[in-house]
Amino acid sequence: MFRVATALLVFLGGFAVMVLEIIGARYLAKDFGGSFYVWTSQIGVILVALAVGYAVGGALADRVQRMAFLAAPLAAAGLFIVFIPNITPRLVDAIVMRHPAGQDIPAIWVKLDPAMGSAVVFFLPCLALALISPFMVRVTASRLDRVGTISGLIYAASTVGSIAGVFMSGYVFIDCFSVTTIFRAMGVLTMLLAVLSLAMDHWLKAYPNSSK
């Protein structure tokens, strides 16, 4: 049961990250256009968020060793994602409107403005979602001789979730739902992951050997 919950948690975490990346590029296009720089910025910022999240998550997992710790950052990230359409337009406008009207935007800012926009909108929630995998490796790798197998399966499940997120975003979500609705759904999903992490923490306390 715990292993199924672990696979589900990391799968949905990877799924949410990739939906935010794909739909996020569509969201940024209304202010920065649909150029190659927007996609480059979005992919780059998400990868930085994942790298930082994996590193921070691994360090925290060694210190805390409690899945309940994930609940707070995931709940906060989920709440932020729900309100992205309400909160972030003013932040993105501040980036766009700082250039004088009627003047050409310098080439360097044509490239960097989308990265700044992506960072203020998507960096922190994706960082929070990236905490999941290293925490799950730490919690489930209770036998040192199976760390490689366990960590491989966890990151595989996360990657499969990301693949599902790519195709669902491109083939289903963008055709059937508004960007606002998709953000709302991903925010709710992320908050549900916070609830799942709490439930798994209680399960571990009740059945301490269930992660083996």
Domains observed in the chain:
2-206 (1.20.1250)
pLDDT at res. 149: 80
Q: Is 102 left (phi over 0), alpha (psi -120 to 50) or beta?
A: left
Is pLDDT of 19 > 90?
yes
Band the pLDDT of 4: cuts 50, 70, 90. Answer: confident
Residue pointed to by tokens 């549900």: 192
In the prediction, which pLDDT does 56 show?
95
pLDDT digits over 35-86, tens only? 899 999 999 999 999 999 999 999 998 888 788 999 999 999 999 999 999 9
The 10s digit of each residue's pLDDT in 134-171 is 999 888 876 556 778 888 889 999 999 999 999 999 99
User: Which residues neighbour 145 within 8 Å (Cβ) at sequence distance 6 or greater?
Assistant: none
